[in-house]
Amino acid sequence: MTDQEIKTAYERDGYVVLKDIIDNRDLDPMRNFIKAKVDGYCRKLYSEGKISSLYENESFERRYAVICEALDILPRNWSFGMFGREFYDLYNLPGVLDVVRLLLGPEVSNIGIPALRTKLPGSVITSFSWHQDSQYLDQSTIGKKEKHTGGLHMVTVWVPLVEATVENGCCWVIPGSHRWGLLDGARDADANIRMEEDVEARGTPVAIPLKPGGALFMSNLTVHSSKLNTTRKSRWSIDFRYLPTPDRADLTVEQREAAEFVWNKNRRGEAVPLVVLTDGHKPTWEEWEAEVSAQKARR
Ligand SMILES: O=C(O)CCC(=O)C(=O)O
């Protein structure tokens, strides 16, 4: 696709899918990060007598699933860290940043915290029902409706680390839904957002199966979901987000306030947004790591 075609598709549909935008080898550091954490977890459990095998011969897609099966658990979240050089490099992949520049302009930051997703076989809680990413950003409290980022333009980049298929629970989107505004919905008891309206009555869902090397770019208002993983393997993926750096001169007051809301929210946690596109100074990995360490020490 040409730059113009990418922009036109994204503006029309609220998302664009680009195949082969990432060299599959550039995803190896992320897979190796996961493999090392899963290996460490497995060895710890084994030494504690909680599992009876190290499952060393299992594949990348099976090993974590096998451990969880042995423990009879289906965790919603990856709890082994989402920070490191691998993440810095991922956020700065030139192919990804070219598209981000096209969609968001010249002064852009990554929000500093991704979602590394295990999507385990049969996991209902990670079958995310229809939502907009703004709803997750805005709402921290179960049952409480808050709206802060309706005026924001943030781009989510969803990247499969193994092939994402309809069977293992790839993403689904509703084309054009980014023009519906920020919809009503709240976090349910399981912490997942539930929409109030029947969005399928308003638009036609499209499945986004994707091989490693491809990426789905979508806006914070694009309605999307992912369904049950009905296979025996984990559907590993990572999604990460970019927004206009809040002090950018071309933002409206609403856009700036929304960008600041995300920025400050993340800074209250352990995440430090990372400037990735700028005419000014772009932090090196060492600088970003030092900032994150300082922030952790302050908390
Ligand atoms: O990866 C998934 O299963 C869901 C992804 C998603 O909802 C998101 O990136 O906001």
Tell me the per-residue pLDDT of 236-292, one tens digit each, with 9 for 90 and over.
Answer: 999 999 999 999 999 999 999 999 999 988 877 888 999 999 999 999 999 999 999
Task: Give the CA angle between residues 32, 38, 43 to the nearest 5°.
Answer: 125
Query: What gap in Å lies between CA 206 and CA 208, rounded to an integer?
Result: 6
Joined together, the tokens standing for residue 130 give 């229809």
Lowest mean pLDDT among 17-21, 148-152, 166-170, 219-223: 148-152
Pocket test for ligand 1, best of 77, 128, 156 (most atoms within 8 A of CB): 128
Does the structure show a pLDDT above 80 at 299? no
Task: Give, using CA atoms, the residue closest to atom 2 of ligand 1.
Answer: 226
Query: What gap in Å lies between CA 26 and CA 212, rounded to an integer?
Result: 10
Pocket test for ligand 1, best of 224, 231, 238, 240 (most atoms within 8 A of CB): 224
Question: Which residues does ligand 1 sit against, CB inside 6 Å?
Answer: 115, 117, 119, 128, 133, 156, 158, 169, 171, 224, 226, 237, 239
> How many folded domains does the chain comprise?
1
Question: Which residues are CB-contacts of 226 (< 8 A; sequence separation ≥ 6)?
Answer: 119, 126, 127, 128, 169, 170, 171, 172
Range list of H helices, 78-205: 85-91, 94-104, 133-138
Does residue 190 lie within any of the structural domains?
Answer: yes
The SS3 assignment for 49 reads coil
How remote is the CA of residue 137 from the centroid of ligand 1, in Å? 13
Read off the CATH number of the domain in which 135 is found. 2.60.120.620
How remote is the CA of residue 128 from the centroid of ligand 1, in Å? 7
Question: Which residues are CB-contacts of 127 (< 8 A; sequence separation ≥ 6)?
Answer: 169, 225, 226, 227, 228, 229
Does residue 202 lie within any of the structural domains?
Answer: yes
pLDDT of 39: 98
How many other CB atoms sit within 10 Å of the CB of residue 276?
21
pLDDT of 143: 84
State the average pLDDT over residues 162-168: 98
Asked if residues 14 and 222 have their Cβ atoms less than 8 Å apart, the reply is yes
Phi first, then psi, for residue 153 (nearest 5°) are -115, 105
How remote is the CA of residue 50 from the centroid of ligand 1, in Å? 31
Which residue type, as a one-letter code, is found at position 23? D
Task: Give, using CA atoms, the residue closest to atom 7 of ligand 1.
Answer: 225
Does residue 262 lie within any of the structural domains?
Answer: yes
Does residue 269 lie within any of the structural domains?
Answer: yes
How remote is the CA of residue 169 from the centroid of ligand 1, in Å? 10
Does residue 33 lie within any of the structural domains?
Answer: no
pLDDT of 115: 96
Does residue 43 lie within any of the structural domains?
Answer: no
Which residue type, as a one-letter code, is found at position 203? G
State the average pLDDT over residues 183-191: 92
Query: What gap in Å lies between CA 87 and CA 91, rounded to an integer?
Result: 6
pTM listed for this prediction: 0.97
Task: Give the CA angle between residues 47, 48, 54 to the nearest 5°.
Answer: 45
Asked if residues 159 and 22 have their Cβ atoms less than 8 Å apart, the reply is yes
Does residue 205 lie within any of the structural domains?
Answer: yes
Q: Which domain holds residue 242?
A: 3-25+76-298
pLDDT tens for residues 201-229?
999 999 999 999 999 999 999 999 999 99
Element at 239 (helix H, strand E)? strand 237-244
Does residue 11 lie within any of the structural domains?
Answer: yes
How many other CB atoms sit within 10 Å of the CB of residue 262?
24
